[in-house]
Amino acid sequence: MILHLRAAVEQLYAVPPARFTPLRSELVAQARSAGDKKLAASIGALRKPTVAAWAVNHFVRGHADEVGELRSFAELLREAQRTLDADQLRVLGRERAKRVDAVADRIAEVAEQEGQRLGPGASQEVRDTLTALIADEDAEASVLTGALVKALSYSGFGSVDVADVVALGSDSAPDRDAAERPSLSVLPGGGGETVDLEERRRTRRAAERTRLQTALEAARSELRSADRQVAVLTARQEEVVEGVADLERRLAAARARLEKVTGELEEAGRIRDQREQEEEAAQSALDAHGRDEHDADGDG
């Protein structure tokens, strides 16, 4: 007999897709027979998982070790992203596709053992879900519930949208937000871990706040250092500018002196040329006088 919605979720999301609808009807009938119309309505509202979601759920329940290895890799990659470790990001980034492909192949293999072959579309949705798990802690927590109703996807930046991807996990949902943030456990065969999505969100927000506060303090420290450097360089600039101004003043004075000396030189050159002409005229006159005396002496 189903006594609460969680038990219904654990049963329904453990069976193959073909068995989901008949079993849901059976559980609804049981709840009605017990006189619990609210529980019957809640069970009836549970959505059938897509083939890809069922395959991931089935794998999570029965292969905790392999899922754990993927989670460990995801944590390494997220840590490298948080610390901006470029070398680690390059190495892990190249490894990510290989890890996703390997686990996706295993999920397809396990699904086929249960008589459920994954087509190309479902196989791609499985890969998208695993990629989202690696990228985002909320996505990882959603996958670990073993109660996905549809595949996850990651655009390559930001967080993964996990709204409406997991079956309801509580028979009391006081508001829509609570319904969209179920608190489910990893089901039997999945390792027995308790996964509280809301607690994961709170922890993540607290860690993010701490990271942002640390980043702010580091930025303020760097700003103070930059301010000191700017002050030092501003003083140096003022010193250099003053030196340039002094050199320009001295250059202007030197150019003025050069102009004056150049003028005096040109005047002195003009006077010299005049004196040279006068000297040549005097020499010519003297030479002429000497010839005249010589001619006079010859006549006498």
pLDDT digits (tens, 9 = 90+) for 36-45: 899 999 999 9
> What's the confidence (pLDDT) of residue 194?
45
Residue in this structure with the two tokens 């709840």, named with its chain if needed? 31
Give the span between the Cα atoms of 203 and 186, in whole angstroms: 19
Give the span between the Cα atoms of 199 and 160, in whole angstroms: 17
Q: What is the mean pLDDT of residues 256-275?
A: 89
Q: For residue 185, what are the contacts with CB-CB under 8 A and spacing of at least 6?
A: 145, 193, 194, 195
- Closest C-alpha among 51, 5, 2, 15 to residue 182: 5
In the predicted model, is pLDDT for residue 185 greater than 90?
A: no
What is the pLDDT of the chain when averaged over all its residues?
Answer: 81
In the predicted model, is pLDDT for residue 156 greater than 90?
A: no
Q: Between 243 and 295, whose confidence is greater?
A: 295
Q: Of 16-25, 153-162, 260-269, where does mean pLDDT reach its minimum? A: 153-162
In the predicted model, is pLDDT for residue 191 greater than 80?
A: no
> What's the confidence (pLDDT) of residue 198?
57
- Closest C-alpha among 132, 172, 125 to residue 151: 125
If pLDDT is split at 50, 70 and 90, which confidence band does 256 have? confident
Q: What is the mean pLDDT of residues 151-167?
A: 87
Give the span between the Cα atoms of 182 and 199, in whole angstroms: 10
If pLDDT is split at 50, 70 and 90, which confidence band does 94 have? confident
> What's the confidence (pLDDT) of residue 87?
84
> At 45, phi and psi to the nearest 5?
-85, -10
